[in-house]
Amino acid sequence: MSEIEHYEPYKRPGYRTKGRAAVYRVNYFELKYYQKRQYGSNMWSISQTLLQQQQLKELPYPTRTKTEIKRKVFRELEKKKGEELFQNGSSSVLLNDDHDVRGRQNEFLVKISLLQESLNLNELDTYLQGETFNLILDPNPRKCKSLGGGLELWGGFFESVRPGQNALFVNMNLTHSVFYEKKDLVTFLHDYLKLRVLPATFNKEKSTVKYSQSIERISAKKAVDHTFTLKETGETTNIKEYFKTHYKIELKHHHVVEMQRKPEAWPLECCEIVQGQRVALKNLNGDQIAKIITFTTALPEENTETILREGVSRMLNFANDQKLKDFEVGVDTQMAVVPGRIFNSPTITYHPSSNEGPKLIPNDDGSWNLRGRKFIKSGTPQGMTIVMCEPEIIYANPNGDFKKTIQREYNNLRKFLRSEPQMILFLLPPEAKSSNKRDKQMFPDKVYDRPLNQSLYRDIKFMTSTALGLLSQCIVADKIKKGPSYCANVALKINLMLGGTNSILDETEISEFIKEPVMLLGADVTHPTSENDHNCPSICSVVASVDIHGSKYIDQHRGQKRTKEDSKGVKKNVSEERIVQMKQIVKELLTKYERINLYLPKKKIVMYRDGVSESQYKMVLDYELKAIQEACREFKDKDEKTKNEKTYDPPVTYIVVGKRHHIRANAEDERNTDKNGNCRPGTIIDQKITHPYLFDFILYSYSSLQGTSRPAHCIVLYDKNKFDPDTLQEFTYKLC
């Protein structure tokens, strides 16, 4: 790709005007800083006073680094305020903990030049000030819940200072993380390995030496087999004998653990798990995930009460923070009240032969009933096999009513199964693999019914999708009891896998985009989650719409090496968020689009990019947007007037969609909420708490079945199409 062009972030063109107006409380607390002057300065010289410089010529003086001196000087400067720093362009600093060879305090002269007279905090760039205040606030764990297996869930509060429009806000939300429990290693292994008998442990009342080290592995050798030579006597001993002689500890366990980076080994019973070691969610089993969901699920009003009752008093206790007193900062203890608007639910279209008619409007919570509806286009399954892994379901329903129900619902939705699904009982993964190979031609479409087990889920998906090339849909056994409605929802997922189209937006809902061909792009990068997966590539994927309704997609994906260079050109084994092969991927997608539609998307390309943090906005914008534009320019298109070929260069809109944020809103009026108290689908907030000048907005596009909904935070980084806020925000909502 040619030299990267740098793009300026797109500025907000205006605010939402359409839709029903509403008022919301958001978990943002406004910071109030009073009229106080800050001085911009440049400290360009630190030297000892003239008298001490002369003394240094006569007396030997210990060598110290400039860094050590500067650190001590700046600690003293922190204690001074305002004009105290500036006395004829310099400030004298006396170091109490730094003495010359005669025992007298060393005095340093700091030369300071003012950049300008003074700045008012109200006039400072709000974004940079937000970064400053972020350093002042610290997280604090709230409570713990045991997850079993030696793990526990910590509950606490997330807080960050965010720039808003004409104000700074503290964004506060409930947060949870998983940690190893603090306990001796023997007990931890008992819990982690689910041993039935708890081994006896050593006497915990004995004095111990605190020594932190990272464990590499449990050694294959026993304590008596680990021998070493004592430096004091030169005698050879082993770990068991050493602890008995030197620490009066009779080891009750033979196993020892080996340490990282050092040739050391320690008995299990003499080790303790250090508190505060975080655990990745990917390492949790299904039961632990279920417990996390149970512990953390709370309605919006419950979360709000917890934040106001505990979070504000504990985390925003500015009155007792000396640094914040120096800043003269205050904080509003009530959540910010912001305006918003609500879109009406869009009209959905099904097949014209649907018994209840082809068109429907979803309920206020964004849901609707599939009864009497038929798919716009059906996939063509050759057959279906149902693998039942839950004994209780089979014994309670020996006649297999589930397979009859799912077949009936598939056919009602215009997805015709030529034969009744085959039922396989209690099939273990090794047997299932051979059976699938045998039945691949007859039953290429599989549905697996299983207990909630993440390991089994991964095995099934690997076996079907990667090893055998089969489609699979896993469902939870307990859900079967819901009957036809649940089976109909399963049919929706299967139909999309088979290349069918469930429904489309009514043409009146997207008239602006139907008039002119548009390509919708969606992109994300998935990185290896384990620290040990150094050789595993990241997987980047880009999908593109190929019809006027935005309901049918094609995709391209690539493996992406983890190694990249830092600013100094040093190669590091880290994941890269930008899609390195974006140009080649977009070229492939445009070629497929042209092959399917016999023309290129002449007017617009809209990219929705996931998984990008704030610090990466400029990087992905400079690189990926450039790649998309260069890919387009390698195609030729016919001019509509002259019919001559010209370079294909459609306008591009680049939008980052973030879900990993802590913005939560509650509607003041219950009429603007769903049954759980969440904001209704179609809610848009784009004022007060959004970015001071970038074009961003908060979108609630769906209702959560339980707990508190998490909205999408959309940031428009580039918009050559010049969409007005109403058009772009409404179209984005309808795509959901």
Q: Say which CATH number the domain at 469 has.
A: 3.40.50.2300
Are 607 and 654 a contacting pair, CB within 8 Å?
yes
* Domain that includes residue 593, residue range: 520-601+604-650
Q: Which helix (H) or strand (E) holds 387?
A: strand 384-388
pLDDT for position 50: 43
Q: 462 and 527 in one domain?
A: no
Number of structural domains (the chain) is 4
Q: 490 and 537 in one domain?
A: no
DSSP strand pairing (255-259 vs 215-222): antiparallel
Q: 552 and 493 in one domain?
A: no
Please tell me the distance from the alpha carbon of residue 251 to that of residue 225, in angstroms, as a whole number.
Answer: 14
Q: Which residues contact 674 (CB under 8 A, 6 or more apart)?
A: 364, 365, 366, 680, 681, 703
Low-confidence ranges of the chain (pLDDT < 70): 1-6, 33-142, 195-211, 317-328, 382, 390-403, 410, 413-455, 514, 530-534, 563-573, 639-642
**Domain for residue 383, yes or no?**
yes
From edge to edge, which strands make up the β-sheet containing 359-360?
A: 359-360, 348-349, 504-505
Q: What is the largest CA-CA distance in the chain?
A: 104
Q: Which of 247, 270, 293 marks a domain boundary? A: 270
Q: Which of 623, 650, 677 marks a domain boundary? A: 650
Q: 107 and 203 in one domain?
A: no
For 38, 353, 504, 529, 627, the CA distances from 374, given in Å and listed in that order, are 67, 7, 12, 40, 41
pLDDT for position 674: 92
Determine the length of the chain.
Answer: 736
DSSP strand pairing (236-238 vs 227-229): antiparallel
Q: 457 and 538 in one domain?
A: no
**Domain for residue 561, yes or no?**
yes
CATH number of the domain residue 613 falls in: 3.30.420.10
In our burial notation (b when 16+ CB lie closer than 10 A, e otherwise), range 571-607 reads eeeebbbbbbbbbebbbbbbeebbeeeeebbeebbbb
Token output for 222: 């026993």
Q: 440 and 554 in one domain?
A: no
**Domain for residue 400, yes or no?**
yes
DSSP 8-state code for residue 335: P
Residue 43 buriedness (CB in 10 A; 0-12 / 13-18 / 19+)? middle
Please tell me the distance from the alpha carbon of residue 82 to that of residue 96, in angstroms, as a whole number.
Answer: 22
Number of neighbouring beta carbons within 10 Å of residue 659: 10
Q: 569 and 632 in one domain?
A: yes
pLDDT for position 520: 94
**Domain for residue 617, yes or no?**
yes
Q: What is the pLDDT of residues 338-379, one digit of tens each?
A: 999 999 999 999 999 888 889 998 988 888 888 888 889 888
User: Across 268-371, where does the E strand assignment appear?
Assistant: 329-331, 336-342, 348-349, 359-360
Q: 562 and 443 in one domain?
A: no
One-letter amino acid for residue 444 of the chain: P
Query: Would you say the pTM of this structure is higher than 0.95?
Result: no
Residue with structure tokens 């300026």? 8
Please tell me the distance from the alpha carbon of residue 399 to that of residue 386, in angstroms, as a whole number.
Answer: 14
Residue with structure tokens 């922190």? 78
Q: Which residues contact 264 (CB under 8 A, 6 or more apart)?
A: 213, 258
Please tell me the distance from the alpha carbon of residue 229 to that of residue 238, in angstroms, as a whole number.
Answer: 9
Q: Which helix (H) or strand (E) holds 257?
A: strand 255-259
**Domain for residue 66, yes or no?**
yes
Please tell me the distance from the alpha carbon of residue 619 to that of residue 580, in angstroms, as a whole number.
Answer: 11
Report the SS3 class of residue 728. helix
For the chain, report the end-to-end CA distance as a whole number of angstroms: 33
Q: 537 and 434 in one domain?
A: no
**Domain for residue 711, yes or no?**
no
Q: 646 and 549 in one domain?
A: yes
Number of neighbouring beta carbons within 10 Å of residue 10: 21
**Domain for residue 203, yes or no?**
yes
What are the backbone angles phi and psi of residue 410, rounded to the nearest 5°? -60, -45
Please tell me the distance from the alpha carbon of residue 500 to that of residue 498, in angstroms, as a whole number.
Answer: 6
Q: Which residues contact 64 (CB under 8 A, 6 or more apart)?
A: none
pLDDT for position 214: 84
Secondary structure tally for the chain: helices H, strands E: 19, 37
Please tell me the distance from the alpha carbon of residue 17 to that of residue 726, in angstroms, as a whole number.
Answer: 7
**Domain for residue 20, yes or no?**
no
Please tell me the distance from the alpha carbon of residue 530 to that of residue 512, in angstroms, as a whole number.
Answer: 45
Q: Which of 270, 293, 308 marks a domain boundary? A: 270
CA dihedral 183, 189, 191, 194 (to 10 degrees): -170
Half-sphere exposure of 47 (CA within 13 A, CB side): 11
pLDDT for position 597: 87
pLDDT for position 134: 42
Q: Where are the alpha helices (DSSP H) in 528-608?
A: 582-597
